Structure 1
């Protein structure tokens, strides 16, 4: 019988590409990952990987097993959800990952509802950039997470995850009231307040500015939109702000753009029927 934990490592390797990356994601040592995969090969009775120094490549058998392993893991997730539904209603730990604006605006009412309707749930919220959510779900550090994408930066289809739409928002250009600027094109010569590199917000800003033929001149970096709007109100630059975070701030004009942000509720494939996951989806929706 093949070990499920080792199958997860094989799927991780297919997704991440290197044993070092798998080790980092799982908080193992590379040698521990290699040993587990070698044991899996012995259990399978066939070579799964071809090794050349520190590099590995999947054999044909390894590709077949990785493909079927993903199906097995999804089926196990679905089985766990079905058993949880039979055992009881929503109960036990529910680990939720969400971006800061959602934690401030969307989650509080949902958490109150869940606490009243399902007191046996143990709710735990972690602030995470949407770019970090898929890995946290796969690695079982989260049960549910909120993902974003934009019409200029559509989200990748992740074969390990399922999701349902939550909301769609207009994105605004936030400018100081003293600045004569009404469009993205006119913001070319303005200093910008941008999110940290590697975040989706940072990538989207670069894309929309590139579409207007320029690269934004960064003056400040901030990931929380309350801070962003405070800096805009202080005349420190312009920025993109989604509708969920676009509260009125003195000294700030909010100009709607032809740009949309979409938010989805994501969970591991097969987990939609889990009572705790279903309860959160219902409370948020």
Structure 2
């Protein structure tokens, strides 16, 4: 008589399909690589078919392994949907883990937590500042329950399977210069030193394209993923850059912001697994995030944008 397949071991196989290596799975789930290997070997015995095969110093899924991993994704999704339905009747929702990009973590999370303290006291929210690419991946891989991500004009992010997408709103992007700068348009910044995010990011590509559209190749002397570090370089007069207004919301501006041609904006959105989007905690967090975004925008008279700082 055959035995059922362990859901826990199916999870490990699904993690391997997503993360690519046993070491990465072990790191993500706080196991040792040997433990992961042993559990996957046990799953092979349960299934009665080879699921892994050597690939140099690593392993990869066989055709049967891919089939079982796809089945595992469905099983895990069904289990999560069942948990979400059960959670509705619980007075205290399950904890919600959030991956947030830096600007939203600064501008929205404090407001969101204040609201949840009133509407859902006792709800545990855990948040990490994480790049959108990593956050979206980790939501699919069940490392997080919700991600706050961004999308720049002309750079649509990949729609990862099994994730939904809910738009929070728009965030204008403007040229930022020091208060003593003689630059008053992007064209006048042709000879300035620029600070941008690292190469390979969507925002870096977009920013370079804005400069080229203005007729010049930017002199990118500084690269920083930390936008607050960019603000420091700009406010001290050592660089200029393109910044989203959400980064500066609620503060006396340390920089002067200049409109760009076409008034571009980035789109802020959240994504959750379709199997968990109806969980009580996820619904509550999303509602509070939307209210936080809307309140910040409405405070400056624009329902679709963050404040314009002159």
Tell whether the structures are fold-level matches, with TM greater than 0.5: yes
* Contact 1:105–1:244 (8 Å) recurs in 2: yes
* Contact 1:232–1:239 (8 Å) recurs in 2: yes
1-structure distance, mates of 2:12, 2:204: 31
Match 1:108 to one of 107, 110, 115? 110
* Contact 2:164–2:272 (8 Å) recurs in 1: yes
CA 1:33/1:239 → structure 2, altered by over 3 Å: closer, same or farther? same
Gaps of 5+ in 2: 291-310
More strand by share: 1
Match of residue 156 from structure 1: 158
* Contact 1:77–1:270 (8 Å) recurs in 2: yes
Secondary structure at the aligned position of 2:69 is classed as: helix
2-structure distance, mates of 1:275, 1:47: 39
**TM norm structure 1:** 0.84
Secondary structure at the aligned position of 2:243 is classed as: strand
**TM norm structure 2:** 0.78
1-structure distance, mates of 2:39, 2:216: 50
Match of residue 8 from structure 1: 11
Match of residue 255 from structure 1: 259
Match of residue 237 from structure 2: 235
CA 1:23/1:267 → structure 2, altered by over 3 Å: closer, same or farther? same
Match of residue 96 from structure 1: 98
Secondary structure at the aligned position of 1:159 is classed as: coil
Match of residue 119 from structure 1: 121
Secondary structure at the aligned position of 2:165 is classed as: strand
Q: CA deviation at 1:90?
A: 4.6
Secondary structure at the aligned position of 2:50 is classed as: coil
Q: CA deviation at 1:276?
A: 0.8
1-structure distance, mates of 2:73, 2:219: 41
Gaps of 5+ in 1: none
* Contact 1:144–1:265 (8 Å) recurs in 2: yes
* Contact 2:185–2:258 (8 Å) recurs in 1: no
Q: How many residues align?
A: 282
1-structure distance, mates of 2:209, 2:23: 31
Secondary structure at the aligned position of 1:110 is classed as: helix
Task: Kindly report which structure 2 residues correspond to 1:210-229, keeping only aligned pairs within 5 A, or say none.
Answer: 214=217, 216-219=219-222, 221=224, 223-225=226-228, 227-229=229-231
Match of residue 307 from structure 2: none
Task: Kindly report which structure 2 residues correspond to 1:1-285, keeping only aligned pairs within 5 A, or say none.
Answer: 1-86=4-89, 88-138=90-140, 140-176=142-178, 178-180=181-183, 182-183=185-186, 187-196=189-198, 201-202=203-204, 204-206=206-208, 208-209=210-211, 214=217, 216-219=219-222, 221=224, 223-225=226-228, 227-246=229-248, 249=253, 252-258=256-262, 259-285=264-290
